[in-house]
Structure 1
Amino acid sequence: MKKFAFLILSLINAALTAVYVALSPLEIVPMHYNINGVADSYSTKWFVMLMPCILIVLGIIYLIYSFVAERHEKLLKNQKYVGRIVLGLFLFFIILFWYLTVICISGATKMGNAFEYILTAAVGALMLFISNILPKIKQNSSLGIKTPATLSSETVWKKTHKLGGYLGVISGAVMVILAIVGMIFKLNGMAVLFGGLGLFIVVACIIPCIYASVLYSKEKKTNLNCE
């Protein structure tokens, strides 16, 4: 039953969105906002249904993955972690899509910097959530920090994911704090967003990859000396 949960939730979300859209008296609403948060494209209100449809596709993909994982031991060992990550993605997209849906259906011609602050905080929270799961993921070729070094050594995999988890939680939390500070002091929303993303990429992605390479090089030297 768990494998159907995300698809069911996405269908319920789509139905609720459809009701909300149908109740709106507006027929033509903003569909796109430029970098300054000003509406520059309009369309029928039903165009917003593309957003809940993305969640339905995600639910279908997870359902297919679950059926495949049940027949492959390598996938099955990380299935519960995949489920948690998909849950995080679902919550992320639901918050993001509903915010955009309300803005569009209300007919607002200006979004301002609020969207960038919310997106920064949501991405930070998602990365924090996923990073907390990272150290628990068992070595595999489809999920986690996959480099030649981590895939060649289980020890390097474990140590790298432990470090990546710590750094990811810290940088994710910093992104949430940046969003709050940006909102309070009315900082440039795009600067806050890209600054937070840049920080996360360097700290939680690049550093663990470098660390993995260093660990693997040391491990190879140790093995050669032992021989």
Structure 2
Amino acid sequence: MKLNKLFISVVTVLIVTWVVAIMYEPKLPEQIPTHWNIKGEVDDYTSKPWGVYMLPLISTITNLLLFFLPKIAPKGFKLEAAKKVYEILIMVMAVFMLAVMVLMFEAALNNDIDMNKWILGGVGLLFVIIGNYLSKVPKNFFLGIRTPWTLASDEVWFKTHKLGAWAFVICGLLVMIGALLSWPVWLMTGLLMAAGFVPVIYSLIVYKKIEGFSD
């Protein structure tokens, strides 16, 4: 994979992530909140320096690994046809993790921040963005709704991803609205789970209708 403009952009976001973490580090408390329960209360802390640099490290390793994984894809599952969408989603994930890190640091400095509201709202936005690209993803080894039934049939793959795109967008929008209106966390979490679960069941139903099962 050549070092294109998008790769440079992702690296830039990762550098910004590290710079922001370094800038926050002196003013952050020794114990950084890193987990919140369903009520939005902090129930776990991580000490410096790991509490500060954990997310930049995870983001760097994850995003760079995602960039180079397609080079080892098995034959028949190369990513060339979906390369642009794949790389755009890597960029989105890098920006998302930067935003989560800043939000986490601000919560460490301000106990009044409702992390569940902001995180779930952000995940809802992420689902909307992913949904807008999901129907454009051709069959591949790394990206998309990969079930035994979608991988076995091009038609099942296409129909499942078309439905999945709508499920991600609709559920993502509902979660964003729910975050603004302070819906229960269990309801918003359920919507996000439904966005992933419904296309999987649909792929099984469509495969049975198109291909059937051997006795």
Please confirm whether the aligned pair reaches a TM-score higher than 0.5, indicating the same fold.
yes
Q: TM-score, normalised by structure 1?
A: 0.78
Q: In the TM superposition, what are the counterparts of 1:38-57 in structure 2 within 5 Å?
A: 38=42, 41=45, 43-44=47-48, 47-57=51-61
Looking at structure 2, the residues matched to 34 and 167 of structure 1 have their Cα atoms a distance apart, in angstroms, of: 27
Pair 1:46–1:102, CA change in 2 (3 A)? farther
* 2:204 alignment counterpart: 213
1:42 CA displacement: 6.5
Unaligned 5+ segments in structure 2 are none
Unaligned 5+ runs, structure 1: none
**2:191 aligned to which of 186, 191, 199:** 199
Instruction: Name the aligned partner's letter for residue 82 of structure 1.
Output: Y
The one of 77, 86, 89 equivalent to 2:81 is 77
Q: Match of 2:142?
A: 142
Sort the Cα spacing of 1:129 and 1:33 in 2 relative to 1 into closer, same or farther, 3 A: closer
Supply the AA of the counterpart residue of 2:154.
E
Aligned partner of 2:209: which letter?
A: K
* Alpha carbons of structure 1 residues 20 and 172: separation in structure 2 relative to 1, 3 Å: same
CA distance in 2, matches of 1:141, 1:40: 36
Change (3 A) 1:95 1:218: same
Pair 205,30 (structure 1): closer, same or farther in 2 beyond 3 Å: closer
The 8 Å contact of residues 27 and 45 in structure 1, kept in 2 or not, is answered as no
Q: Does the Cα contact within 8 Å between 2:171 and 2:191 map onto a contact in 1?
A: yes
The structural deviation recorded for 1:45 is 5.9
What corresponds to 1:132 in structure 2?
Answer: 132
Aligned residues: 206
For each residue in 1:143-179, what CA deviation from the matched residue of structure 2 results, as whole angstroms up to 9, or x when unmatched? Answer: 2111222112111111111011011100110000010
3-state SS, counterpart of residue 33 of structure 2: strand
Contact 1:131 1:168 in 2 (8 A): yes
* Structure with the bigger percentage of helix: 1
Q: CA deviation at 1:67?
A: 5.2
Task: Give 1:38 deviation, angstroms.
Answer: 4.4
How far is the alpha carbon of 1:137 from its aligned partner? 0.4
- RMSD (Å), alpha carbons: 2.8
Tell whether 2:104 aligns with 1:100.
yes
Q: Residue 160 of structure 1 aligns to a residue in which SS?
A: helix
1:4-58 CA-to-partner distances (Å, cap 9, x unmatched) read 4312320232023202323x2x662443465352476473366312222222212
The correspondence of residues 24-43 of structure 1 with structure 2, limited to 5 A, is 24=27, 28-32=30-34, 35=37, 37-38=41-42, 41=45, 43=47
Q: CA deviation at 1:123?
A: 0.7
The Cα shift of 1:66 comes to 5.9
Deviation at 1:87, TM superposition (A): 1.8
Query: TM-score, with normalisation over the residues of structure 2?
Result: 0.82
Larger Rg: 1
Show CA shifts across 1:73-104 (max 9, x none).
Answer: 72222111111211221222111110111222
Distance 1:32 1:17 in 2: 14
Amino acid at match of 1:198: G
Of the structure 1 ranges 165-174 and 149-158, higher mean CA displacement relative to structure 2 is found in 149-158
The whole-number CA distance in structure 1 between the counterparts of 2:159 and 2:46 is: 50
Aligned equivalents of 2:71, 2:152: Cα separation in 1: 28
Alpha-carbon separation, structure 2, partners of 1:159 and 1:40:
42
